[in-house]
Amino acid sequence: MIKVTNLHKSFGDVKAVRGISFEVRDGEITGLLGPNGAGKTTTLRMLYSLLPPDEGEIRIDGLDPTTDAMAIKRTLGVVPDSRGLYTRMTARENIAYYGELHGMPRNKINERMEELVETLDMSDFIGRRTEGFSQGQRVKVAIARAMIHSPQTVMMDEPSNGLDVMSTRALRRYILSLKAAGHSVVLSTHIMQEVAALCDRIIIIARGRIAANGTAQELMTQSNCDSLEDAFVSLIGTEEGLAA
Amino acid sequence: MSGLGTIYKKEIRENLRDRRSLFNSVLLGPILFPILFIGLGYFAANKQQERAEEVLEVPVVGAEHAPNLVSFLKQQGVVIQPAPEDPESLVRSQEVPVVIRIPEKFPQQWEAGKPAVVEVIADPSRRESETPMRRVRGLLRAYGAQIGQLRLQLRGVSPSIQTPIMVKDVDLSTPQSRGMLVMMMLPYVLMITAFTGGMHLAIDSTAGEKERKSLEPLLINPVPRWQIMLGKMSATATFAFASLFLTLLSFRFAFPFLPTGALGVDLNMSATAVAGILLAVAPVVILAAAMLTTLASLAKSLREAQSYMGLVFMIPMIPSIIFMVNPVTPVTWMMSIPMFSQNLLIGEFVRGETVPMLWLAMSIGSTLIIGLAFAAVAATLFNRPRIVFSS
């Protein structure tokens, strides 16, 4: 359960987020949808306590990221916008490193590693150094290291960026399996199909504000449109930054 | 603190795998510097001996004005060469190092018992003409002294009346203290090593982490940021210390190969000296690690970080160069100057002197204070969004 109230964040003169409030329910996939530069990444960064908000309040399962950063980081699994791997280390070592940073004992890490290799289908490359990995392989490793400590809440920033069709489908299946296993998932994206295929609830962000909030059906009704894409354009009032 | 340990282990392991950088940062110094020293030592020793033993060939202008002087020079083994047209330009063009000119007035002055002028034409700013010039002067002076004594004796005066003061040199320098070249260079090399050893790791673990976009995901882990920074700094310090240790070790084995006899160099690289130097320079390693990590964190990219490193080199260089140009006698208060005190201490250790505990404590203490202050600043750097997201 995530509750965000009246969130503000500026970088110098740029007001990235100006008064965002929403709720993310347990066991649901929530999509943050918006054009490029709408403030999705900044909002997520405040949620996973990397950036302190200028104003407003965040509660994740009752915890405040500004004061309980460590506790929140233990319960979150985050696949951020940047997913750099260590190229002189194998995929397995990259993932295990994050397990160790979470203070997990060695045998627990190994156990969990096997599960993740299985679910994410990584057995072909898990023992290889990540130098020269494909985008798809890289995203899988980035997801695995974010999930190594079995977090309850998962946040992904544009996870399908740069993936081919097959990898995207595999990713979507994985996200749906997370929901089925009872995790809450927060997803930021600017890709319409992804939202339509995955999200229970959609939060449309534009120019640092919430433009609309609801299920896909509710958004279409609200805007009098037949498709989610039209609803999106109508709700944010422009086609700027819209990707297919 | 387990987060700090995890970060530390990972940085060390990852950088050990980078063979090329490992070689450049940790191994190159220990291999290169001693070879350089031995090579330079031999070169200097050879040159000095060569010149001292070389047959002295000197063109003499106006030899006919002073046949006795010329035959004296011949007796002393000097090969007299015919007079050149233009001795000045010959010396200027470095064809000969030195030319003697006996002016026409020489016989007159000689007969009159006045000081007779003999010109030694040379360019002392050229190092290679230094030895021949000195030898020629020495010979001329010896001839002058000999004739002067004879003249006094002829007049019935004891020659010793001419020498109211007899200067006698009492040489207190030990063979160790004569090894000036090595002694001036060694602190410089070791101080540089304390910086270069960890440089690559410092860049790779901060600016590099930013460039390959792995810093943000790293910071999402439940490890306090100061621990992350401190882990990286400790890894940097470890590499630098390893490099320093290996350099000292290789010097210890290289010292016997230095041309000690020829240069009059005999320096002490005993196990005690090695341990003493390590102890004295260890705080510099910490200071260097903190400085390097701080600077590299401020950089947006690897390239930018690398360009800062040139500046960082100036930090250990300046005190070492001051010491090289102006070698001072160590005094207690100097031990409170970080980076400079180590230069003095290394000199003391290598000369085989007993270093007062107070000196060591002051040097370590003052350097450590600055080092830890830097480390404290660095530890807070990752708390600034501007530094985390600057790419």
A51, A76, A88, best to mutate vs chain B, most B CBs in 10 Å = A88
Which of B214, B222, B388 minimises the CB distance to A84? B214
Residues of chain A contacting B224 with CB distance shorter than 8 Å: 70
**CA nearest B212 in A: which residue?**
A84
- Residue B219's H or E segment, with its range, is helix B215-219
Smallest CA-to-CA distance from B288 within B340, B227, B234 is with B234
Residues of chain A contacting B221 with CB distance shorter than 8 Å: 73, 98, 101-102
pLDDT tens series, chain B, 391 aa: 688 999 999 999 999 998 887 887 778 888 888 888 777 777 766 666 665 667 788 888 888 888 888 888 888 888 888 888 888 888 888 888 888 888 888 888 888 888 888 888 888 777 777 778 888 888 888 888 888 888 888 888 887 877 777 777 665 554 444 456 666 778 888 888 999 889 999 999 999 999 888 999 999 999 999 999 999 999 999 999 999 999 998 888 887 776 655 555 556 678 888 899 999 999 999 999 999 999 898 888 888 888 888 888 788 888 888 877 777 788 888 898 888 899 889 888 887 788 899 999 999 999 999 999 988 988 888 777 777 775 4
Give the number of A-B residue pairs with CB atoms closer than 8 Å: 74
Q: How far apart are the first and last CA of chain A?
A: 30
Do A58 and A22 form a contact (C-beta atoms < 8 A)?
A: no
Tokens 């997520």 -> residue = A44
Euclidean distance between CA atoms A62 and A26, whole angstroms: 13
Per-residue pLDDT for A57 more than 90?
yes
Burial of B185 from C-beta contacts in 10 A (0-12 / 13-18 / 19+) = middle
Euclidean distance between CA atoms B139 and B146, whole angstroms: 11
- Residue B100's H or E segment, with its range, is strand B98-101
Determine, for residues A83 and B10 on separate chains, whether the beta-carbon distance falls below 8 Å. no
pLDDT of residue B176: 47
Do A35 and A26 form a contact (C-beta atoms < 8 A)?
A: no
Distance from the Cα of B217 to chain A's closest Cα (Å) equals 6
Interface of A with B in 65-104 (CB under 8 A): 69-71, 73-74, 76, 78-89, 97-98, 100-103
- Mean pLDDT is lowest, of A21-35, A92-106, A216-230, for A216-230
What DSSP character marks residue B355? P
pLDDT of residue B183: 67
Burial pattern B37-47, b for ≥16 Cβ within 10 A else e, equals bbeebeeebee
pLDDT of residue A238: 62
User: Position B228: which residue type?
Assistant: I
Residues of chain B contacting A82 with CB distance shorter than 8 Å: 213-217
Burial of B1 from C-beta contacts in 10 A (0-12 / 13-18 / 19+) = exposed
pLDDT of residue B236: 94
Q: How far apart are the first and last CA of chain B?
A: 29
**CA nearest A148 in B: which residue?**
B221
Residues of chain B contacting A83 with CB distance shorter than 8 Å: 213-214, 217
To the question of pTM greater than 0.95 for the whole model, the response is no
pLDDT in tens, A199-208: 999 999 988 8
Residues of chain A contacting B385 with CB distance shorter than 8 Å: 11, 50-51
Task: Give chain B's radius of gyration (CA, Å).
Answer: 30
Determine, for residues A84 and B212 on separate chains, whether the beta-carbon distance falls below 8 Å. yes
Q: A60 touching B, CB under 8 A?
A: no
Distance from the Cα of A132 to chain B's closest Cα (Å) equals 13
Determine, for residues A50 and B220 on separate chains, whether the beta-carbon distance falls below 8 Å. yes
| Percent of chain A residues topping a pLDDT of 90 | 59
Distance from the Cα of B314 to chain A's closest Cα (Å) equals 32
pLDDT of residue B343: 87
| Mean pLDDT, chain A, integer | 90
Residue A29, CB half-sphere, CA atoms under 13 Å: how many? 24
Distance from the Cα of A85 to chain B's closest Cα (Å) equals 6
Euclidean distance between CA atoms B301 and B309, whole angstroms: 13
**CA nearest B204 in A: which residue?**
A86
Do B267 and B225 form a contact (C-beta atoms < 8 A)?
A: no
Which of B6, B209, B217 minimises the CB distance to A83? B217
Output the CA torsion B383→B389→B390→B391 (10° steps): 150
Do B355 and B276 form a contact (C-beta atoms < 8 A)?
A: yes
Which of A69, A78, A83 minimises the CB distance to B213? A83
> What is the phi-psi region of residue A241: left when phi exceeds 0, alpha when psi lies from -120 to 50, beta otherwise?
left
Output the CA torsion B68→B71→B77→B83 (10° steps): 100
Determine, for residues B214 and A98 on separate chains, whether the beta-carbon distance falls below 8 Å. no
pLDDT of residue B179: 54
Per-residue pLDDT for A100 more than 70?
yes
Per-residue pLDDT for A39 more than 80?
yes
Residue bearing the bigger pLDDT, B223 or A235: B223
How many helices and strands in chain A, by DSSP H and E? 9, 9
Q: What is the mean pLDDT of residues A123-131?
A: 95
> What is the phi-psi region of residue A229: left when phi exceeds 0, alpha when psi lies from -120 to 50, beta otherwise?
alpha
Distance from the Cα of A151 to chain B's closest Cα (Å) equals 12
Determine, for residues B214 and A78 on separate chains, whether the beta-carbon distance falls below 8 Å. no
Residues of chain A contacting B214 with CB distance shorter than 8 Å: 82-86
Which of A50, A79, A142 minimises the CB distance to B219? A50
What DSSP character marks residue A77? E
Determine, for residues A97 and B223 on separate chains, whether the beta-carbon distance falls below 8 Å. no
pLDDT in tens, A42-54: 999 999 988 889 9
Residues of chain B contacting A145 with CB distance shorter than 8 Å: 217
Confidence grade of residue A89 (pLDDT, cut at 50, 70, 90): very high
3-state secondary structure of A57: strand
Distance from the Cα of B248 to chain A's closest Cα (Å) equals 30
Distance from the Cα of B2 to chain A's closest Cα (Å) equals 7
A101, A135, A149, best to mutate vs chain B, most B CBs in 10 Å = A101
pLDDT of residue B175: 47
Do A157 and A77 form a contact (C-beta atoms < 8 A)?
A: no
Residues of chain A contacting B6 with CB distance shorter than 8 Å: 97, 100-101
What DSSP character marks residue B255? G
**Both tokens assigned to B157:** 């005066």
Euclidean distance between CA atoms A7 and B306, whole angstroms: 39
Euclidean distance between CA atoms B149 and B163, whole angstroms: 11
**Both tokens assigned to B167:** 């200067």
Determine, for residues B14 and A89 on separate chains, whether the beta-carbon distance falls below 8 Å. yes
Smallest CA-to-CA distance from A199 within A34, A21, A83, A74 is with A34
Euclidean distance between CA atoms A79 and A41, whole angstroms: 11
Confidence grade of residue A98 (pLDDT, cut at 50, 70, 90): very high
Pairing of strands A76-79, B79-81: unpaired
pLDDT in tens, A160-186: 888 888 889 989 999 999 999 999 999
Phi/psi of residue A212, nearest 5 degrees: -165, 165
- Mean pLDDT is lowest, of A7-21, A71-85, B325-339, for B325-339
pLDDT of residue A66: 87
Longest dimension (CA), chain B: 102
